[in-house]
Structure 1
Amino acid sequence: MGFYQEDYWAIEFLLEKGYLQKGSSVIECGSQDLLCTREGKSIPNTKERKSAREIFEQYGFKDYECIDMDGGHNALQFDFGLDLKEEYQYNKQFDLVTCREFGHWIFDQRQMFENLHNLCKVGGYVIWRPFLAGAFGYGFYAYNPNKILHLMFANGYKMIRVYITEQVYKENGEFAGRDRKYPSLLCENGADFLNALDVYLDKEDTWRKTSLKVGIPSINPTIIWQKTEDKSFESPLYYYDEPERTITRNAKSVLKNCFPEAKKGNVAIFGAARAGNIANEFAKASGLNVACVIDDVQTGTANFCAGGGGIIVSFNEFLEKYQNQCDFILVGPYQNGKIEGRDGLRIPVCRLDGRWFV
Structure 2
Amino acid sequence: MKIDLTETNSSKINAALVKARRDIGTPAIGMVLTLVIVTDEENAYDALKSANDASHEHPSRIVVVIKRVSRSPRSRQGARLDAEIRVGADSGTGETVVLRLHGELVDHAQSVVLPLLLPDAPVVVWWPDGAPADLAGDPLGALGQRRITDTYSCEDPIGALGARAAAYSPGDTDLSWTRVTPWRSMLAAALDQQVLSVASATVEGESDNPSCELLAMWLADRLQVPVRRMPSGGPGLTAVRLETKDGAIVLDRADGALATLCMPGQPDRSVALKRRDTAELLAEELRRLDPDNTYEASLKFGVAKLDSSAPPAEAPAAEAEAPAKPEAPAKAEPKRTAKPTKKAAAK
Per the normalisation by structure 1, the TM-score is 0.32
The structure where helix makes up a greater share of residues is 2
Higher Cα radius of gyration: 2
Per the normalisation by structure 2, the TM-score is 0.32
